[in-house]
Chains A and B, each alone.
Chain A
Amino acid sequence: MSKRKSSETESIATILKEATGGILNEESLEAIEQAFNEEVEKRAELREQAALELQDKEYSEKLIKVLEAIDQDKTRKLRKVVEAIDRNNAIKLKKVIKKYNKALTGDALTFKESVVKHISDYLELYIEELIPQSAINEAVKNKKAYTVLEGLRSQLSIGSSLLDESVRTAVIDGKQQIDSLQNKLHEKEQELKQLSENYRLVAANLLLEQKSAGLPAKKKEYLKKVLGSRSVEFINENFDYTLKLYDKKENEQLNVLKEEAFNSRKVKVETPEIEDLILRERVSRPTPVQNSTNIYVEQLNKFSR
């Protein structure tokens, strides 16, 4: 380019020298040539810049297109790769899931059962070592014996205090005291009973005396015989009845005596009808028991008629 420029510069200086016919001196020609060259260089630079800018623009557009194309291609390829990896991983994961499911459901359960069995056996042995079956048997036996003894104790009324030597004497002494007091109480009860009985008899006799105060001696004796051993209430209830019974009995005795006197009289009046009647009556009614003072026997005779 510099060769071309120098050739062009030579040609412009030559052209001007030839055109002016040697009017312009060498210095003017050099100045013109210099100005011309500077201008040419300036313009060349401007053109170069414009061309470069244009080129940059074109290249960048092309580059963008190329990059986009590359991106699209890579994206497509990457998607395919990702899909392939996903599929592969999914298949592998499914296999892993299956394996772990199997391990969890089958193997883990088997493992757990075996662990349970081993621990159970171990605990069995450990407990057997610490607490042997013979010791447990003995303890159970002791417990049962204790229960039986407790039952016997409660059945035989033997308290735990009796088992103690120091308390036994006091308990025996207490028992003796209780027994003697119970005997005394029994005696007192007997005395009280006797006194009550005596009081009842005295009260009954007093009442009988009061009630039979104005009566004849024979009646009084009869009343004493019948009601003497009775209670006050009985005497109150049955006094009048006994009195009436006595009167009735006395009347009957009088009638009997009258009949006897009538039959044994020396002067007899012929009254066969009356005699027959009396005789018939005597046959139909037997003579009451003489000297019978017992009211109950008399009542029984009445009922037997």
Chain B
Amino acid sequence: MNKNIHKKFLNRFVSDILSENYNSANKALYNVIKYKIKQKIASASKNKLF
């Protein structure tokens, strides 16, 4: 689910950049980075650390 959200935000970011809507692009980029880090944390949690 996180992967889809991240892709959705990435598409929005590119669309906003191409249409020169930089404020919205900034938010989309923030969300992309947020979900990427969440993905990393989730993958780290899935690894059996304990």
Residues of A within 8 A of B (CB): 112, 115-116, 119-120, 123-124, 127, 131, 133, 136-137, 139-141, 144, 148
Contact = CB atoms under 8 A, between A and B. Distances in A.
Interface in B3-42: 7, 10-11, 13-15, 18, 32-33, 36-37, 40-41
Contact of B14 (A116, A124, A136, A139): A116
B49 A141 contact: yes
Given A123-B33, A123-B36, A116 B11 contact: yes
What is the interface of chain B mostly: helix, strand, loop, or mixed? helix
A261 to B, nearest CB: 97
A136 B50 contact: no
A144 to B, nearest CB: 6
A124 B32 CA distance: 10
Contacts of B18: 112
Interface of B: 7, 10-11, 13-15, 18, 32-33, 36-37, 40-41, 43-45, 47, 49-50
27 contacts: A112-B11, A112-B14, A112-B18, A115-B14, A116-B7, A116-B10, A116-B11, A119-B13, A123-B32, A123-B33, A127-B36, A127-B37, A131-B37, A131-B40, A133-B40, A133-B43, A133-B44, A136-B40, A136-B41, A136-B44, A137-B44, A137-B49, A140-B41, A140-B44, A140-B45, A140-B49, A148-B50
A144 B49 contact: yes
